[in-house]
A and B are shown apart, each in its own frame.
Chain A
Amino acid sequence: GAGVSQSPSNKVTEKGKDVELRCDPISGHTALYWYRQSLGQGLEFLIYFQGNSAPDKSGLPSDRFSAERTGGSVSTLTIQRTQQEDSAVYLCASSLSGHGNEQFFGPGTRLTVL
């Protein structure tokens, strides 16, 4: 079956503009995660969803970042008034809800803020 998909694969935007990043998880996966990876850095957790609710938003770097998930499926990560330090690869993952289930990652969206 299809894996996790993300769109767009690349996004170039100007400083101050808003961007929306989309994630389509694997069908049937109830848990969905957003991470980001700045150039040459490790992965940084942003937020996760269990169904449509987000119990842990602790990783969101500022109030310019928000995310939602509808219908227990697609999720959108929105960054308002983008800054150059927001440039990174944004990775989405999904998993079955359960004991120790592995997370399946998408290919990521490379965001460049000029």
Chain B
Amino acid sequence: DAKTTQPTSMDCAEGRAANLPCNHSTISGNEYVYWYRQIHSQGPQYIIHGLKNNETNEMASLIITEDRKSSTLILPHATLRDTAVYYCIVRVPVQGAQKLVFGQGTRLTINP
């Protein structure tokens, strides 16, 4: 799986958009970008994933650059409950089970 690089920590004001970057310059053509987050004392939670087109769901938007070497997770209107560690993971999805390889992630703090 391709290696990812994320900032260690970020701050964002409540109500503003939180933009979390992820670099994955060695991504290969068949690898997808996944985002999970882990709120304190809870298990990780899936947020979104994509291959090359921008994706949006009820939680967030995922913007992937045209060369696919980086992406940005956008929380459009951050709330205090969005304070968590956010993990960017790059992998090739396969049929059947597949482990997730977590890096250190970005600790996002939403400030009132």
Identify the A interface with B (CB < 8 A): 4, 30-33, 35, 42-45, 48-50, 55-56, 59, 91, 93, 95, 97-108
Interface centre among B34, B95, B96, B104 (most CB of A within 10 A): B96
* Chain B interface residues toward A at CB < 8 A: 32, 34, 38, 42-46, 49, 87, 93-105
Taking chain A's interface residues, is the majority helix, strand, or loop, or is none over half, making it mixed?
strand
Contact B43 A33 (CB under 8 A): no
* Dominant secondary structure of chain B at its interface with chain A: loop
Give the A-B contact count at a CB cut-off of 8 A: 67
Q: Which residue of A lies closest to B103 (CB)?
A: A42
Query: Do A105 and B44 have beta carbons less than 8 Å apart?
Result: yes
Task: Determine whether the beta carbon of A91 is less than 8 Å from that of B99.
Answer: no
Inter-chain contact B43/A108, CB cutoff 8 Å = yes
Cβ–Cβ contact A42 & B105, under 8 A: yes
Expressed in whole angstroms, the Cα–Cα distance for A95 and B93 within the complex equals 12
Cβ contact within 8 Å between B93 and A100: yes
In the bound assembly, the distance between CA atoms of A104 and B45 in angstroms comes to 7
- Contact partners of A31 in chain B: CB under 8 A: 96-98
Q: Check if B104 sits within 8 Å of A42, measured CB to CB.
A: yes
